[in-house]
Structure 1
Amino acid sequence: MNQISNPHETIPSKAEYDEKQEYDEKYDDIKDSVGMSEDYEAERPLVEVVRLVVPITDDTTLVAITFRFWVISTFFGIIGAVIQEYRYFRITNGVFSIFFVNLESYALGTAMARILPTKAISIGKFSLSLNPGPFNIKEHVLIGIMVQLLHMRSVSALGSLLLILSTQCVGYGMAGMLRKYLVYPAEMVWWSNLIQVVFYNAIHNTNEFKARRMIRGWSYMKILWVFCIGMFIYGFLPQYFAPLLLTNAFGTQTYGKPLTLHLFFQNGTKFDVKTVLKSDNPLNVDNFASLAACISHVVCFHGALILSNWKRAVSGEGNDIYTRMKRIYPEVPQLWYAAFYIAVAALAIFVCETHIKQLPWWGLLIALAMGWVLTLLICTMMAITGSGPGLNIITELVCGYILPGKPIANMAFKVYGYMTMYQCQILLSDLTLGHYMKIPPRSMFIGQLWGTLIGALFNYLTMILIIDSQRDILNGSKNDPAKLWNNQRIETFRGSGLIFGALGPSRMFTSSGNYGFVYYGFLVGAIISVILWALSKAHPRIYWSNVNFCVIIQGMTAYPNGYTFSILSGLIACLVFRFYMFRYHQGWWQKYALILASALDTGTAFTSVVLFLFVSGGISSKLHFDAPHWWGNNEHETPAPLMAIDRCGSYMNKNWTGGV
């Protein structure tokens, strides 16, 4: 492209001009067919990236709920739930990537389309064809959407299962009721979905993607496979052969156990919670800035948008072409989601009153109310920017004040306040993917509900199996000779319950203590966003809303966690693709950027799966192999801290005396 005087404008090539003309003609046809008035014409390029990526065509003859959907989604839903729960207790972190699921489900779906007979199964008036035709993009998308989805005191099997089901399903009900505000408006992009939109259209070779002119005449699928295989091979270098290239910034991996999750006294001795807890677990006594910045930023910069979306939802209007296109399909009434939510909330009260007796019913209602208010704000930030804070700290803090000295209550409060928001966020993102791919709303309702139930049930069954078989290793009373099992993720959850529940924020965060300063984070986060909003009013030609303090703080949280190896590569990718390519070579960006992203994600996912299952002992301790020693993984150190599976937990520096 040739650059002209305005740096944000470009002269398109003839091929790009022809494609734009084709898009405009197609848009005009669909605008007329769905009855879009001229009032909406100005909103067509509202989010330009979406316009460039998401097709404006829809084949209404495609069916999403098929026999293949039920078989494949249930199979991968069970596998995904088992793997996710399995890795929760393992040192090696296996990733059950959605791109892995997408490729495998495509292979299985196309095979079923070739093999299965075309006859239908009839049960009364209900009939379902075993093979309704070629494996189509809508059932494929719905399968992917469906799949995405230890404390000293024991809870009964029934109580544990009901707890898992109620937390998952509360988030489901919330997502359904919020979809008109956080899914349908055009501004709610949910950026990660755009990569999947390109992936699905590429693998199914849809007409709009087939017509695009690619380099050397390659198809989207060929580009996907070439870069996917290349990334799969390359991924072994930093993840297996050269771990030195990953998390030893400033020599942190030689300081003993920098990422341990146990609690310590200041002198380095381990803190034994049993010395300060009674038998029933109450206390034995006779990233604040990010959340505040998120709330302040959303209220200041997007408050008017939220009110506008609410008014449009009440009046039944849609503000983009995708919403108008989907009106051909029957909508899911809000009453369905509301009734489901009320029923599950009642179940949650039953669980708390009969099994988690430290959390009273009124405490549960406070947790649910917090989830509602903060989910709207946080998910607005997530939808618009792709980043947002969690509710884990604020829910622990609030419960620590209203129910001090009760760690079980604190953890349950966190589950119903934070985890339901997290589940709601995932479901809202999936609803947006279904929105972009024109999946009928009632098919989405069935698919997401089925995925939620299957995931909760098999998460629970796998958890019970692992705890019963590895209990002594997980609680520390027995060593693990293979060094494959640990409870670090459980310790994170449990440690938070002890800090905020047993000890309580009134003791941990006193003004005279070591951590009293953290409360200033609320003030700093809120004030900075207000200042930026005031500057946007004084100098409207500068895009002050793009200076998002919440996102900046979220990035800073990567450093204490130790997982900093992706920051530089991510920054380079953003500068090259989002800043330079999108501005000055938009046609190239439209064709290649997101297909490359999906290819690299898919290749990385396959590398992680292979390493987890067949190299790092994911299937069996016998399938555990260390990489050859060389300078790329500290071959000269004895013992070599970077070669151990638990690179931050198995090596203790003899000079280390402090705690974490």
Structure 2
Amino acid sequence: MPSPTRKSSDSATLAPAESAPEISDADTLAAADSVVQPISEKDALGIAAKGDDEKTELQADSKEGELQALSEAAESTFNALGEDIDRVSSFVAQLTEEQSLEILRTAIEYHKDDINFASATMEKITKLAQGLEFYEGDYDTYSLELRTEAALIGHYSPYPEVRAVTDPFDDPTVYVETPRVYLLALIWTIIGAGIYQFFASRQPSIALNSAVIQLFLYPSGKLLAFVLPDYRFSLGGRTFALNPGPWSYKEQMLCTLMCNVAVNGAYVALYNIITEKMPQFYNNQWVTYGYQFLLIFSTQFLGFGFAGVLRRWVIYPTKAIWPTVLPTIALSRALLRPEKQESVHGWTISRYWFFLIATTGSFVWFWFPGYLFQALSTFNWMTWIAPSNFNLAVVTGSIFGLGYNPIGSFDVNLIIGSNTGLYPFSVPFWSALNQYSGSVISGLIILCLYFKNYKWTGYMPINDNALYTNTGDTFRVTEVLTNGLLDQEKYQNYSPPYYTASNLMVYGSFFALYPLAFVHTMLHEGKHIYNSLKTFALEVFKKDKRPIYEAYDDPHSRMMRNYREVPDWWFLIVLVVSLVLSIVCIKIYPTNTPVWALFVIILVNFVFLIPLTIIYSTTGFSFGLNVLCELIVGYALPGNGQALMILKAFGYNIDGQAESYISDQKMAHYSKLPPRAVFRGQLFTTLVQCLVSIGVVNWQIGNVEDFCSPTNAQRFTCPGPRTYYSASVMWGVIGPKRMFNGLYPILQWCFLIGALVPLPFYFLTRRYPRLRKVNPILICGGMLVWAPYNLTYYTPGIITSFCFMYVIKTRYIGWWEKYNYVLSSALTAGVAFSAVILFFAVQFHPKPLVWWGNLVPFVGVDGGIGRQALLDLPESGYFGLDPGHFP
């Protein structure tokens, strides 16, 4: 195969040339200011270890001797560096002490409030920055450690997580945006989006996420590189090659990003269309394909328009590490980057073979909790002691109860956090622990509410996302509507909707979370946000002609200067077109939704998007604006559940799509992919995803028996659409005025609580910096886990996070850097493969395996047999407010 030619700055020229110039290490260092391979803080601190055990004699008199000594020390200490040790050595040797001191002092100031920056590293570089007189050692050792730390921080990354999956150098000649990338992205977007949409209404859900897609893309790309002819063609003045050469790492990453943005699902298809069309919900038969197309296109693409502004806050800054994207990059490196045989804590297996073995193990194991021995998945062993004990089921039950169970499941699907967002192999342990602490605390509050029968919660199940009438039946909104709006006479003759104890906790936590997140982010990141806004304003008004990357001096941004950024007006065009489609949608169909309300929701998104994405980029914790939008629309358009559902779809999806695009753009930043190629590719696959999602959801509605029924044999119980429906009833049809004034007045105080909580935390962390990892946003976010999920879905994840993100990361950093993210992807891939095969083999047309191990989790109260509420109905036959006096 011919070698590739140098691309244009946006990587659109794809034809291979006859030859490409060799790029030497010296050229790379001079051109890109690059260092090399990832090494840990612990390893970096020990790179010039002084103990007798090292037996390394540093020759500071000559550069040659220094390089040799450094290589020898690194060879014994950092096996993960492999062939890039020489690059590290060369760059450390080129740094002067003055340059190194400047880098460290800048880092100390920038990272002083950085919760992801290791405290041990901060202590070390602070001592180094103070000079030799504060350092306990000789001059030669001090000088080498000073320059080593400066090289890692100033010319690579201060985070071992990032160094583990990135390179400190880039080859801009590697082809990226090839025709075969678009072909494979089209095929796997159709497959991935179809499977996601099909299983998204199932509990637990199944998806072909990026790890699984990558596994298929790799052999597919290799196959195309083998079979496609070396054919070139011209388009728009550029030459393209059908087969430019071997399947490259950058092609793999671009194709992954294109699929990734599309296979994460279409919010409208999953929630809005199902809720509006299904008879047990709104039963709106006017929801035609035309309405669905307009709504899904406008909601999916509006977020892209906002993403252009967000780049300044959550892509270029070094602090924005985006921990949830790192496993995806790690897997692509394992598949395509060669590595030499080496020993890391006694492990010599390559990342690729480790991935294959772990994937196979995960695939085989999932059959046990998924089909052969289902008690391993729903391991509610504490309720087996007394299956009819109501209180025991309430506290420890995995199905009916709250899941206070130290060993809740052996299901890998629960361990990897696919249904919870905890992601124990990528989210920092301190972040996971904060969230889990909030879950445990809120569960105790739920128990108090329930057993005190607060607001009649004792007459309903404790942990359910459904709404109930005053007789304990499921609330049906069609009983109180006339022409899609609330009918007061029907409402007074029927019942108000009542929340379960867990649902009450979830909404109270949401109301506190919004002001908490906003105030907390402004206190801690206000200066950074202000400076970025000022930079953006200068760019908009053409007072600053510099490219966006020029404002950032970290090594990754410097390398990305080889590629042209996406102009802001590209994002603006997408935003305007999407806005026009959304206006057409709500005007030509009977949506009962005014246009001005849409602009209000867009404004709310604009205000909150910056703090939300900053939180997501640093902690791995994400939450949407769905509940805030419910409240705003409920006040603005009382009694209008239809408008609430539509505006909520916009309010949530603008944020969701913007975060999805931005997180993938950060992956492109780490992988050195041209931003314009990523922009074009993701727009293309999002369009494909919209069409696939609409087709799948309409097929399900018409062909799956008992779809969205609690008794569905294939578990298509629609937990998400059911929550979506409940919210539209409570906050749209009934409205927040009735909720706050008559049913649940305590909820309105949650806003004030959320606004005040950040203040003491802020002053405490200023006084005691070690407390900065106690994050009130994450604690409050952990309180959202309930209804219908419980601690059974979270406890396995926090145990795994402790093992891998704390113990192994602290004690075996070399192993962790090499294998951790690969293991995360392997477990995810194995579960997805196994679940899809298992579903079509034995669950779609049920082939039950009847024995004790598959029956014991579902007997007794926790299995839905026997008493399902704490209290019996009063003699009057109803609970709550008296009929005729409903708020």
TM interval, shorter chain, is 0.7 to 0.9
Corresponding residue to 2:594 among 360, 380, 394:
360
Give CA-to-partner distance per residue, 1:503-528, whole Å, 9 cap, x none: 00111222x53x22223322233322
Q: Any conservation in 2 of the 1:78–1:455 contact (CA below 8 Å)? A: yes
Q: Give how far 1:322 is off.
A: 0.7
Matched, 1:180 2:180: no
Identity percentage of aligned residues: 26
Q: Could you tell me how far 1:548 is from its partner in structure 2?
A: 0.8
Deviation at 1:601, TM superposition (A): 2.5
Q: Alpha carbons of 1:545 and 1:306: their partners in 2 closer, same or farther (altered >3 Å)? A: farther
User: In 1, Cα distance between the equivalents of 2:355 and 2:365?
Assistant: 15
Cα deviation 1:16-59 (Å, max 9, x = unaligned)? 35849546346669999xx9996786655443432343211222
- In structure 1, the residue matched to 2:321 is 189
Match of 1:24 in 2: 88
Aligned to 1:270: 474
Is the contact between residue 200 and residue 206 of structure 2 (CA under 8 Å) also seen in structure 1? no
Aligned 8 A contact 1:388 1:550 in 2: no
Distance 1:261 1:31, change over 3 A: farther
1:557 aligns with 2:784: yes
1:273 aligned partner, one-letter code: V
User: Are the structure 2 counterparts of residues 222 and 7 from structure 1 closer, same or farther at C-alpha, using a change threshold of 3 Å?
Assistant: closer
Aligned to 1:653: 866
Q: What is the Cα deviation at residue 85 of structure 1?
A: 1.9
Q: Match for 1:491 among 718, 722, 726?
A: 722
- 1:281-338 CA deviation, whole Å, 9 max, x = no partner? 1111382222332222211122223234445665641141111101111211111111
In the alignment, which residue of structure 2 is the partner of 1:169? 301
Deviations 1:197-238 (A, max 9, x none): 2111111024xx547644453221111112222222223333
Opposite residue 253 of structure 1, the aligned amino acid is: I
Which segment is superposed worse, 101-110 or 337-346? 337-346
Distance 1:426 1:31 in 2: 38
Aligned twin of 2:485: 282
Q: Is the 8 A contact 1:291 1:525 kept in 2?
A: yes
- Secondary structure (helix, strand or coil) at the match of 1:217 reads coil
Partner of 2:794: 567
Q: Extract unaligned runs of 5+ from structure 1.
A: 1-5
Change in Cα spacing, 1:320 to 1:561, as seen in structure 2 (3 Å) is: farther
Tell me which of 91, 100, 106 is aligned to 2:218.
Answer: 106
1:464-613 alignment runs, 5 A limit: 464-470=698-704, 473-474=706-707, 482-483=713-714, 485-510=716-741, 512-513=742-743, 515-539=744-768, 542-613=769-840
SS in 2 for 1:428: helix
Q: Secondary structure at the match of 2:486?
A: coil
Deviation at 1:569, TM superposition (A): 2.8
1:220-619 matched pairs, under 5 angstroms: 220-246=351-377, 248=380, 250-251=396-397, 253=399, 261-279=465-483, 281-285=484-488, 287-311=510-534, 316=548, 317-355=551-589, 357-470=591-704, 473-474=706-707, 482-483=713-714, 485-510=716-741, 512-513=742-743, 515-539=744-768, 542-617=769-844
Shift of 1:257: 7.4
Using a 3 Å threshold, how does the CA distance of structure 1 residues 296 and 633 change in structure 2: closer, same or farther? farther
For 1:7 and 1:99, how far apart are their aligned partners in 2?
Answer: 29
Aligned equivalents of 1:217 and 1:474: distance in 2? 50
Counterparts in 2 of 1:311 and 1:54: CA distance versus 1, 3 Å? farther
Question: How far did residue 426 of structure 1 move?
Answer: 1.0
Matched residue SS, 2:397: helix
SS in 2 for 1:565: helix
Which structure 2 residue ranges, 5 or more long, are not aligned?
1-41, 55-72, 108-149, 262-274, 277-282, 381-394, 402-459, 490-509, 874-878, 881-887
Gap change, CA 1:31 and 1:263, over 3 Å in 2: farther
Name the SS of the counterpart of 1:128 in structure 2: strand
Residues 259 and 561 in structure 1, CA contact (< 8 A), matched pair in contact too = yes
Q: 1:432 to 1:26 in 2, by over 3 A?
A: farther
Higher relative CO (Cα under 8 Å, sequence separation at least 6) belongs to 1
> How big is each residue's C-alpha offset from its partner over 1:93-152, in whole Å with a ceiling of 9 and x where there is no partner?
322222111101111111111122212355685653221111111111111111122322
> 1:140: which partner in 2?
252
Question: Displacement of 1:429 after TM fit?
Answer: 0.7
Separation (CA, whole Å) in 2 of partners of 1:170 and 1:92: 29
- Do the aligned partners of residues 96 and 588 (structure 1) sit closer, same or farther apart at CA in structure 2, a change above 3 Å counting? closer
Offset at residue 474 of structure 1 (A) = 3.9
Instruction: Give the CA deviation at 1:570.
Output: 2.3
Query: Could you list the per-position Cα deviations for residues 52-71 of structure 1 after superposition, in whole angstroms to 9, with x for gaps in the alignment?
Result: 43211222122221121111
CA contact (8 A) 1:113 1:131 kept: yes
Kindly provide the CA deviation profile for residues 567-595 of structure 1, in whole angstroms up to 9, marking residues without a partner as x. Answer: 23322233233323333443333223222
- Is residue 120 of structure 1 aligned with residue 251 of structure 2? no
Check whether the contact 1:292–1:526 (CA below 8 A) recurs between aligned residues. Answer: yes
The Cα RMSD (Å) is 3.4
Give the conservation status (yes or no) of the 8 Å contact 1:474–1:486. yes
Question: Which deviates the most, 446-455 or 232-241?
Answer: 232-241
Match of 2:885 in 1: none
Equivalents in 1 of 2:332, 2:662: separation in Å? 19
In 1: Cα distance, 2:558 partner to 2:487 partner: 60
Letter in 2 for 1:53: V
Are 2:263 and 1:202 equivalent residues in the alignment? no
Contact 2:860 2:866 in 1 (8 A): no
Residue pairs, 1:4-153, within 5 angstroms: 14=73, 15-16=76-77, 19=81, 22=86, 24-25=88-89, 43-44=154-155, 45-90=157-202, 93-121=205-233, 127-149=239-261, 150-151=275-276, 152-153=283-284
Change (3 A) 1:179 1:210: farther
Instruction: Work out the CA distance in 1 between the residues paired with 2:654 and 2:239.
Output: 36
Looking at structure 2, the residues matched to 89 and 226 of structure 1 have their Cα atoms a distance apart, in angstroms, of: 31
Q: Deviations over 1:545-565 (max 9, x none)?
A: 211111122223224432433
Provide the secondary structure at the position in 1 that maps to 2:488.
coil
What does residue 112 of structure 2 align with? Answer: none
The residue matched to 2:240 in structure 1 has which SS? strand
Q: Is the 8 A contact 2:642 2:728 kept in 1?
A: yes
Residue 570 of structure 1 aligns to a residue in which SS? Answer: helix
CA gap of 1:475–1:381, structure 2 versus 1, over 3 A, is closer
Taking the aligned partners of 2:43 and 2:814, their CA distance within structure 1 comes to 16
Q: Aligned pair in 2 of structure 1 residues 595, 210: CA closer, same or farther (>3 Å)?
A: farther
SS at match of 1:54: coil
Partner of 2:290: 158
The question of whether the paired residues in 2 share the 8 Å contact of 1:288 and 1:521 is answered with yes
2:397 aligned partner, one-letter code: G
AA aligned to 2:525 is: H
Q: Distance in 2 between matches of 1:204 and 1:283?
A: 59
Choose 551-560 or 137-146, whichever is displaced more. 551-560
- The 1:655–1:195 alpha-carbon spacing in structure 2 relative to 1, beyond 3 Å, is closer
Say which is worse superposed, 183-192 or 122-131, in terms of deviation: 122-131
Specify whether residues 257 and 100 from structure 1 end up closer, same or farther in structure 2 by C-alpha distance, changes over 3 A only: farther
1:3 corresponding residue in structure 2: none
